[in-house]
Each structure stands twice: as structure tokens, then as C-alpha cells.
Amino acid sequence: MAIIYWAVSKEYGTFFLMGWSGNRLVNGFLKVTFCAYRPWIRDPRIIPYGNSMTTATGYSFPSGHTMNAETVYGGGCLKKGLPKYLRIVLGILVALIAFSRIYLGVHTPQDILVGAGAGILVMFLTIYLMNWIKDHPEKQWLVLCIGIILAVIVALYAGLKTYPVDYDAEGNILVDGKKMMNDTFKGVGYCIAFLIGWVLECRFVKFSTDIPIVQRIARIVIGLLGYYIINLIISPLIKECISGSVGTLITSFLQVFYVTFLFPLSWKIIEKEKRDKTSAKGIDML
């Protein structure tokens, strides 16, 4: 999504990032609301494939992988500007990812169907919202405020509600409610970061993806390098200093805020300095 946003199509990248942050918030809210255990916990006859039991942690309903797939692949299917064959391929990818969650034994059909339905609904609403904002650009601040209020409500809900505490035969807790609360806080951080970064970029940066291929490649390489520095170095350091939900919220916010605003702003400044130097060199030659 970052690559699309920085170097392919700013409009499509914004669409995917907006839908993804919305899907993450909705998925986190639904998971901590229903607190549904994984299939093998609910029915011992279900045996997950390989090491799926150790990698698929937390609550089961609805499927996060399916909702994530609906963001980019499902969202791409809804974009009539894309070639028909590509939209068909993207639809097949959504179906394969959804099927894989059942095949692996980590989700039930209900998890998949609700995840797919909720994910595609969010993307439909995202299309409607972006079209509405295109006609009413002055309403961006309203969308920003409403979105942050909803994200804060979800955070308070996840942080204050009670979670079921059940144990397996060996005395281990089946699902740690605090961990699931932290996962929901990730969605909150992503959503708030996108909204703030999106509005700030539209108001003060206004970068374009209509640039030569060499500049696109440079943006991707440098942008991803910065992202991985944040994700693999800075974020772990922050979590060491600030643990719990607050640390999760800050690091999640930083990742998306970098993608939507910090890197575009930095690149804009670099491009301006290069243009200024080129202009100064041209004047000197005259």
C-alpha cells in the first residue's frame, strides 16, 4: 500500500490505506466484542494444519486475514478503473486467502463470511467517503474529527471491558484478553495516524505520483528503508521504554504516520532543495 501511495497512484494508495485502517479498527472492535475462541478450542475434532495452532493466536471471529485481503484485493475489485482481468485475479486472491484460513483449521466458515462481508462493506463505504470528500474538500476536518472520536471510543471500550478467562487442561489461559486489547489498540493507532497524516499531507505537502520512473524507484527504495528502520529498530526501542497499550498505540501510529505524512514531507523538502540548487547553478552559469 505504501508503494502504491508513494510511487504508483496517490489516489489508489489513499483509498487502500483509508480502507485498511478502517478494516483494522472494525476487526479489532468485533474481536474483543464477541471473544470467540479458535475452532480447535471450540471443537477438539478440528486439528489445525502444521504449526497453525501456535501462529494463529487470539480470538477467531471475524477473520483478520480475510478482512485485510478485502482491503487491497477486494478493494481493487471494486475499482472500475482497473483492467477487468486484473479485477478477476484480485477476486480469486480474496477467495483463496479466505479458503486457506478454513483449510488451515484456524477459522470457521462463519469467521470467513463475516470477515469478508465486513471487509467489503468497509471498502464500499471508503469509496463513498472519498467521492464525497472530492466534492466537499472542506469537510476533511470533519471526517478527521469523527474518525478520531470513533477510534478513541473503540480504544476506551477495549481497555475497559472485561474478557473471559478460561484455562486448558494444563492450566494455561486460552486467550489473553490483554493481548487482544493491545491488538485492538494497533487498529486505533493505525486509524488515527492515517486520518491525521492524510489531512496534513493534503493541506501542506500535496505530493504527486506523476513523476519519472527513476524518481518512483528512488521513492520506493528510500521510503521502504525508512519504514523498516522505524519498524525494526525505533519501534522495539519505544516498546522497551513504554510497555503495554500505550507503547502499542505509539508504535502503530508512527508506522502509518510515516507512510502517509513524514516520508512525503521529507521527500518534498529534498526535491525543493534540489530544484533550488539547480536554479542557483543555472543563474551562476548565466
User: pLDDT for 186-243, tens place per residue?
Assistant: 999 999 999 999 999 999 999 999 999 999 999 999 999 999 999 999 999 999 999 8
Q: Where are the alpha helices (DSSP H) in 104-241?
A: 109-135, 140-160, 177-200, 213-229, 235-241
pLDDT of residue 43: 87
Which range is least confidently modeled, 21-25, 27-31, 39-43? 39-43
pLDDT at 132 over 70: yes
Average pLDDT over the chain, rounded to whole? 91
Would the pLDDT of 133 be above 90? Answer: yes
- Which positions ≥6 away from 72 have C-beta within 8 Å? 1, 16, 20, 90
Cα 275 to Cα 215, 227, 258, 266: the distances in Å are 14, 25, 24, 14
Phi–psi pair at 164, nearest 5 degrees: -65, 140
The yes-or-no answer on residue 65 being catalytic is: yes
Residue 167 — pLDDT band, cuts 50, 70, 90? confident
Number of helices followed by number of strands (H, E) in the chain: 14, 0
Per-residue CA distances from 102 to 38, 110, 113 (Å)? 11, 10, 11
Residue 135 binned pLDDT confidence (cut-offs 50, 70, 90)? very high
Q: Which of 70-84, 86-100, 229-243 has the lowest mean pLDDT?
A: 70-84
107 has catalytic annotation: yes
Nearest Cα residue to 25 out of 141, 118, 162: 118
- The active-site residue out of 24, 31, 65, 101 is 65
Domain parsing of the chain, residue ranges = 2-285
pLDDT of residue 274: 72
pLDDT higher than threshold 70 for residue 279: no
Closest CA to 198 of 4, 74, 13, 54: 13
d(CA 209, CA 31): 37
Instruction: Say whether pLDDT at 140 is over 80.
Output: yes
- Calpha distance 6→223 (Å, rounded): 8
Handedness of CA 211, 216, 218, 220 (dihedral sign): positive
**Catalytic pick among 10, 31, 38, 107:** 107
Per-residue model confidence as pLDDT tens digits over 262-277: 999 999 998 877 766 6
Q: Which whole number is the average pLDDT over 102-128? A: 94
Q: Say whether pLDDT at 177 is over 90.
A: no
